Amino acid sequence: MKTFEEVLESKRRGSLKIIMGYAAGVGKTFSMLSEAQALKQRGFDVVIGYVEPHRRPETQVLVVGLEQVPLRKCAVGDAQFNEMDVDAIIARKPQIVLVDELAHTNVRGSKHAKRYMDVMDILNAEINVISTLNVQHLESVADRVAAATKAPVQERIPDKILQIAHQIVMADISMDDLRERLRLGKIYDKEKVDNALINFFTYHNLSFLREICLREAAGNQFQKMQENNFGESKAFAEEAVMVALSSDPTNAPTLIRKGTKLAARLSSRVYVTYVQKKAEDPAHIDSQLQRKLQTNFDLATRLGAEVRVLHGENVSDVLVNFAFEHKICHAVFGKSRLTPIRERIRGSILLEFIHDAVGIDVHIISVE
């Protein structure tokens, strides 16, 4: 695998490196600044676009000697905020810019709503970026993390950001070391430590988050290996995943996340499909269901899927035709809510699809 320096030397377009962690305090910012100092010593033009002002002496010392592009001051009411100045970074035109907290939400009135959108502008200006991210902020895992840890995940970014990254590395320390850093007040103020140890920073939660982080980092490495294997890359590019939604998609978010995650691991396209019958056109369908469908389409788009609204009365036939036309190799369905007897009476779209879609792997997702 190429080092990040080799990537920088070989690409004309901006390259993105993400340092991912499983929790606050694992050393993401420290790793980013350490690499920046090493790159600067080797002659690269490195600047700080934004570094979170952690009150950690070992981190703060690594800022010394690195140029900081002045931050943009923003006023919201009586409050003052400092945000990264994207236009100033692009005008400065460094080789590499450091951008902490990729999932950050910008204050109202900023050019973009999210910092990762700012980073896209910087990459399009042929400037390389090193950034940091905690794994729970990925849209595909955020709900699962929130349910497991009982801590809501407010900041979210689409998984497609991982797909455009040229390198993803994991900042990793043991759970014992992380909890000890927390006790010493190196992550949060000491008055918050006891509450954090009891609630979020439990062994159970940290183990769960670390496993997800390891999988994401390993999955990205596997994807890059596939992309670099030119003999096989064409075959992978031709594969695709299809997620089939019903007109009453109670389990749609789960199906969409499972489908987009599968597609990311295969480095393939993903389609989210909905077959609209005449009785389900906007003039007839319930307005609440319309809103639910649109919400799910929006989620699919954020996760990098292509939404297709198809038309026809025989849902299975429409899906089978679409699957063959678009080289679908994996079809994702939700488990039916009907009893077996009612399925026999009404007919099963899923069973018909399995019978007709020869050669396509069918994934049935339970959301119980």
Q: What CATH code would you report for 232-365?
A: 3.40.50.620
What is the largest distance, in Å, between two alpha-carbon atoms of the chain?
Answer: 74
CA angle 169, 129, 8 (to 5 degrees): 85
CB-neighbour burial class of residue 188 (10 A; exposed 0-12, middle 13-18, buried 19+) = middle
4-228 with 232-365: one CATH topology? Answer: yes
CA angle 194, 197, 198 (to 5 degrees): 85
Predicted structure pTM score: 0.69
- What are the boundaries of each domain within the chain? 4-228, 232-365
Length of the chain: 368
Which residue type, as a one-letter code, is found at position 162? L
**pLDDT band at residue 274, thresholds of 50, 70 and 90?**
very high
- Average confidence score pLDDT of the chain: 85
Tokens of 149: 């840890």
User: Looking at residues 266-275, what average pLDDT do you find?
Assistant: 89
> Across the strands, what pairs with 339?
none
Residues 60 and 202: their CA atoms lie apart, in Å, by 28
pLDDT at 43 over 90: yes
**pLDDT band at residue 21, thresholds of 50, 70 and 90?**
very high
**pLDDT band at residue 234, thresholds of 50, 70 and 90?**
very low
CB 37 within 8 A of CB 189: no
pLDDT single digits (tens) 161-218: 888 888 899 999 999 999 999 999 889 888 899 999 999 999 999 999 999 998 888 7
Stretch (H or E) spanning 345: helix 340-346
User: Looking at residues 248-275, what average pLDDT do you find?
Assistant: 86
**pLDDT band at residue 365, thresholds of 50, 70 and 90?**
confident
Q: In terms of CATH architecture, what is 4-228? A: 3-Layer(aba) Sandwich (3.40)
